[in-house]
Amino acid sequence: MGVDATFMKKIFLISFLAMALNAQAQVVVSVHETAKDQPVIPAEIYGQFSEHLGKCIYEGIWVGPGSSIPNVDGYRTDVLNALKALKVPVLRWPGGCFADEYHWMDGIGPREDRPKLVNNNWGGTVEDNSFGTHEFLNLCEMLGAEPYISGNVGSGTVEELAKWVEYMTAENGTMAELRAKNGRREPWKVKYLGVGNENWGCGGDMTAQYYSDVYKRYALYARNYSGNSLFKVACGASGDDYEWTRTLMKNARSKMNGLSVHFYTVRDWNHKGSALQFTPEEYYATLAYSYRIDEILRNHSDIMDAYDPQKTVALMLDEWGTWFDVEPGTNPGHLFQQNTMRDAMVAAVNLNVFNRHTDRLKMANIAQIVNVLQSMILTDGPRMVLTPTYHVFRMFNVHQDATFVPSEASCGTIVSCDGDVMPSFSQSVSRDSAGLIHISMANPYLDKAVSVEVNFDELKPRSVSGEILKASAINACNEFGKAPQVQPARFNGARVSGKKLTLTLPAASVVVLEIK
């Protein structure tokens, strides 16, 4: 006899609520600051992603020098300043799916002469190519960010990618002369080159075996010029497609520096749900589903270890984040969604996970930087707001290029109505070049505060300070023309006693501590 699906869902929900009520309200964190030979957390773990999609580039970053919106050489001033404060370490461009239909020659030369095309991937809007290679690489220089170029393999040619690399990085030759003619005499430094994007899907609908051969051909002709050394990234798997990783590592590992993976927090691609209107059960289900990335990173790393025990090939999570239904009344192809305290919790939990995987994981790029999916910034004409996710990234940037410090937390688990399991507390620890220790923590519970005791191996803290991010409701967001509902505040709740810290994390909050 079959079991009624609705009945089973109720049983899961009852079990989940019982666990939430009975789970530990007290957590003990053990910090091993004396551990030796720990990896550095690459700044690129806090990377960003910008695609020609909706209002990410146009209006979000670029308004043009003739715009009435205040700008610096066409880059809108408010967004530029906000991104500088974020300390963006690396920026991926021009896609995404757009990259494998992008022909870079369309985006150079006088802007009025650049061809217009229809953006077939994202909403059918007209792309005027006014933001191209020069505009992107100049932006990276202004931000102090490493450029991450996503090359066209799906519809481009080997020669096209090879000449693009030469145009950007060669000091002499025909491509360098063309670059100089277009206003840039000195070559740029371009570190990261993605050889294709999602080539299993929108980037060419290829098999892993076929793509591995294609990758080697394209990568061969992407040369190093004028002292520039390319870090070549092969297109990797979607989520838990471990066979793709196995095939690429078997066939192409000696030709690549990095291998990507993509994972979005989407429980059901046919019913993504609202970014703003959701139940407590949907909140926990979203957060626990996002925690699957811990297992996915671990499993991909294990496969890579089997072929590359010296860890010479980096794992690059160059697309991740929440993906909900677009806001009502907006173009479905522009992927514009609001950003709430729920998104901030997802960001904090994921970043804490990433920090623990940096022996293999060397980059992560959230999707996307402005106006698209789980963005840092939203704009509406001349207006701009910083999202809850922005604040998490800004608070957590203390971990960039810091040394990882091992830690573990004694806590319970949360089991969602979908059956996904995650710890009921999230933390990571690092030590920066000045010797300061930073601890980032997140309490995912909606209905209870958590008492936390932090114990060090030997350290006796002299002082502790911090910031907290919380809101009056889990679906609180920052809206145009209104006072922000979600923004960081000083946190003075930690107390020092010998080798111990004690504090209380309010429900659904994120705290980052600095310890001297």
- 463 exposed, middle or buried (CB, 10 Å; 0-12, 13-18, 19+)? exposed
Q: How far apart are CA 443 and CA 425, in angstroms?
A: 5
Query: Which residues contact residue 426 at a Cβ distance below 8 angstroms, ignoring those fewer than 6 apart?
Result: 348, 349, 352, 353, 441, 442, 444
Domain boundary among 305, 339, 363: 363
How confident is the model at residue 25, as a pLDDT?
A: 63
Name the band, by pLDDT with cuts 50, 70 and 90, for residue 2: very low
Same domain assignment for residues 443 and 352: no
Name the band, by pLDDT with cuts 50, 70 and 90, for residue 268: very high
Q: Tell me, what CATH number does 253's domain have?
A: 3.20.20.80
- Residue indicated by tokens 């690396």: 90
How confident is the model at residue 3, as a pLDDT?
A: 39
Q: Is the pLDDT of residue 436 over 70?
A: yes
How confident is the model at residue 7, as a pLDDT?
A: 35
Q: Give tens-digit pLDDT for 194-224.
A: 999 999 999 999 999 999 999 999 999 999 9
Q: Which of 33, 59, 135, 198 is catalytic?
A: 198
Q: Give tens-digit pLDDT for 472-510.
A: 999 999 999 999 999 999 999 999 999 999 999 999 999
Amino acid at 502: T
Q: Give tens-digit pLDDT for 87-115.
A: 999 999 999 999 999 999 999 999 999 99
Count structural domains, the chain. Answer: 2
Same domain assignment for residues 340 and 223: yes
Say if 54 falls within a structural domain.
no
Same domain assignment for residues 28 and 120: no
What residue ranges in 399-448 does DSSP mark as E strands?
403-405, 407-410, 413-415, 421-423, 426-431, 437-443
Q: Which of 33, 146, 166, 319 is catalytic?
A: 319
Mean pLDDT computed over every residue of the chain: 94
Same domain assignment for residues 352 and 444: no
How confident is the model at residue 6, as a pLDDT?
A: 43
- Annotated active-site residue 327? The verdict is no
- Annotated active-site residue 198? The verdict is yes
Tokens of 375: 């963005």
What are the beta bridge partners of residue 264? 321
Phi-psi region of 498 (alpha: psi -120 to 50; beta: other; left: phi over 0): left
Domain boundary among 330, 363, 396: 363
For 290, the enclosing helix (H) or strand (E) is: helix 280-290
Task: Show the domain range for 507.
Answer: 5-37+406-515
Q: Is the pLDDT of residue 19 over 70?
A: no
Smallest CA-to-CA distance from 322 within 335, 331, 305, 304 is with 335
Q: Tell me, what CATH number does 462's domain have?
A: 2.60.40.1180
Q: Are 100 and 218 in contact (CB under 8 A)?
A: no
Same domain assignment for residues 414 and 346: no
Say if 128 falls within a structural domain.
yes
How confident is the model at residue 239, as a pLDDT?
A: 96
Exposure b/e, 158-170, CB count within 10 A at least 16 = b: eebbbbbbbbbbb
Domain boundary among 363, 391, 421: 363
Q: To the nearest whole percent, how much of the chain has pLDDT over 70?
A: 95
Q: Is the pLDDT of residue 160 over 50?
A: yes
